[in-house]
């Protein structure tokens, strides 16, 4: 199985700031990485797939980059609704696997 390692586990920031969340795969997954947002009381939301393709409805302040084993989710100009849990998931090979999550908290 492809192991996905996310960092940091926790991140504190203020509205208006920019943050980056990293995801590292144990082997090359080409560009095939997705990012999700989880917030209490809401269905999980797909943000980005194939490394950098924004899902319809994802605000342009979100961006994804990387290929091979190293990927980054960047959120520019944080909005209050951006705080929550973020997960990466590789979709290069079965079984699909997730990172351990990053909790983005209000500073």
Partner 1 sequence: EVQLVESGGGLVQPGASLKLSCVASGFTFSDYWMSWVRQTPGKTMEWIGDIKYDGSYTNYAPSLKNRFTISRDNAKSTLYLQMSNVRSEDTATYYCTRDDGTYYEGHWFAYWGQGTLVTVSS
Residues that bind partner 1 (CB under 8 A): 1, 32, 34, 36, 43-46, 49-50, 55, 85, 87, 89-98, 100-101
Nearer to partner 1, 76 or 91 (CB): 91
DSSP 46-107: EEEETTTEEPTT--TTEEEEEETTEEEEEE-S--GGG-EEEEEEE-SSSSPEE---EEEEE-
Tokens 């590292």 identify what position? 24
Nearer to partner 1, 19 or 32 (CB): 32
Nearer to partner 1, 36 or 78 (CB): 36
Q: CB 80 → partner 1: shortest distance, Å?
A: 22
Nearer to partner 1, 78 or 86 (CB): 86
Task: Specify whether the CB–CB gap between 9 and 102 falls below 8 A.
Answer: yes
Cα–Cα distance measured from residue 4 to residue 98, given in angstroms and rounded to the nearest whole number: 6
Q: CB 91 → partner 1: shortest distance, Å?
A: 3
Q: CB 64 → partner 1: shortest distance, Å?
A: 12
């Amino acid at each position: 199985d492809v192991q996905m390692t996310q960092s940091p586990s926790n991140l504190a920031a203020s509205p208006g700031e920019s943050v980056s969340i990293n995801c590292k795969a144990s082997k090359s997954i080409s560009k095939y990485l997705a990012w999700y947002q989880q917030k209490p009381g809401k269905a999980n939301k797909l943000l980005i797939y194939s490394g950098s393709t924004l899902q319809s409805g994802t605000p342009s302040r979100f961006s994804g980059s990387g290929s091979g084993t190293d990927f980054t989710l960047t959120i520019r100009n944080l909005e209050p609704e951006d705080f929550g849990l973020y997960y990466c998931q590789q979709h290069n090979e079965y079984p699909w696997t997730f990172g351990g999550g990053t909790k983005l908290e209000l500073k």
